[in-house]
Structure 1
Amino acid sequence: MSRVAVVTGAAGGVGSAVSRRLRGAGWLVAGVDRAPAPGADLSLPFDVSDHREFAAAVVSVERELGPVDALVSAAGHYESIPFAEVTDDQAERMLRVHLGGFFAGSRAVLPAMLERGTGAIVAIASELAVGGGARDSHYAAAKGAVLGAAKSLAAEVAPAGIRVNAVAPGPTDTPMLPPDSPWRDTAYLSTLPARALAHPDEVALCVHYLLDSADFVTGETLHPNSGAVI
């Protein structure tokens, strides 16, 4: 019987790469995104921070695909704004989508996982959660909050057989980075040991490892960031 993963942000660069990787490994994927997720076995369009919507969606996933074995919380957005210009609405939205989406998804899948005594959650964070970045305060704060929540949840549910980990990519070659992004500038790329942006498939590989090959790993963070933060 195929295992089932719920992947949020499944229409985006990282989320769609994760969906493809898992489906190629025999998983069934329910893709959650405000836009359609064509690469998923089941596409569920709604706001990931809506707890009620997420709980109802998991019921639909279990009815259509089977019990949820994994959650990959990849939904998010990026803005580069000077600290003094970040509005309350922008800061609140950043936390609501990133941290709120992680909480809503985890709360929706955990009861059944705890009852079965098995399951895995992977949160997509960012190197900026670890190293910070100029003009990235509200994004880095939201991703840092996701890392803290994931580590805390890992400690809480490990005795019940549930693993919780994170992947913290560096700048990744997805549509989230516009063509004129400073992260794409050759001057920046030359400072990286690997001299290149991360690729979504490389991030997906890390997620797949944590779900399929790391039964002994929990509370950890993988850093596919081209050596930007070592």
Structure 2
Amino acid sequence: MSRNAIVTGSASGIGAGIADLLRASGWSVVGVDLSPTADHVADVSDPDAVRAAVGRILEDVGEVDALVSAAGHYDITPVSEISAEALHRMLRVHLGGLRNTARAVLPSMVARGGGAIVAVTSELAIGGGDGDAHYAAAKGAVIGLVRSLAAEYADRGVRINAVAPGPTDTPLLAADSPWRAPDYLATLPNRRLTRPDEIARVVEFLVSADAAFCTGEVISPNGGAVI
């Protein structure tokens, strides 16, 4: 029987890696992204747009077994220069994106007796970072929401977890990003950035029946960037 998944941020980076791996593993994946190449174009920070997109997806596929919230953006800005709008945008996209998509799919998951939600957060939510205050704060809020939702929905059969990657080789990291600098890479046990497919394998586990006893967890496939 086909398993259906929604992946936000599916057009590039970690989201694309997750969508590709799930499809290769037999999942039917519907991508949601701002990019016109996505199956459904929607801004995850807009609750009305998310509700409409998920409604259309449910009409098309009937049931959604898994939601992966991977949409996001990143920039490096000293805390003294972070504008209110930049902070609010980080929160709207990362925290709001998870809230909006989870709220849209949870009723159908509860009605069918189960499902899995995985949010992509960041090791910066755990360890913080120089110039990453608004990003780390938004990703930290994602962890708080994941654990709260997990507690609220555990007895209704819905498992909700997070993955917290370290620096990953995606377009979000510019060519001149300090995360790509040889001096930084030399500090990592693996001496390289994580690949999107390595994150995707952890997500694949968390949405599978093998992770039936995992909820409220934060798994950190970060190559030893944070230990």
* Alignment match of 2:50 (pick from 26, 48, 54): 54
Q: Which residue of structure 2 lines up, in the alignment, with residue 166 of structure 1?
A: 162
State the Cα distance separating 1:136 from its structure 2 match: 0.2
Q: Secondary structure at the match of 1:94?
A: helix
State the Cα distance separating 1:65 from its structure 2 match: 2.1
Q: Secondary structure at the match of 2:68?
A: strand
Contact 1:28 1:65 (C-alpha < 8 Å) held by counterparts: no
Q: Which residue of structure 2 lines up, in the alignment, with residue 107 of structure 1?
A: 103
Aligned counterparts, 1:1-230, within 5 A? 1-37=1-37, 43-212=39-208, 213-230=210-227
Residue type at the aligned position of 1:18: I
- Per the normalisation by structure 1, the TM-score is 0.96
Moved segments of 4+, more than 4 Å:
none
Contact 1:4 1:65 (C-alpha < 8 Å) held by counterparts: yes
User: Alignment identity in percent?
Assistant: 57
Q: Secondary structure at the match of 1:6?
A: strand
**Structure 2: gaps spanning 5 or more residues:** none
Contact 1:16 1:37 (C-alpha < 8 Å) held by counterparts: no
State the Cα distance separating 1:37 from its structure 2 match: 3.9
Superposed CA RMSD = 0.9
Contact 1:18 1:207 (C-alpha < 8 Å) held by counterparts: yes
Distance 1:82 1:135 in 2: 4
Contact 1:73 1:122 (C-alpha < 8 Å) held by counterparts: yes
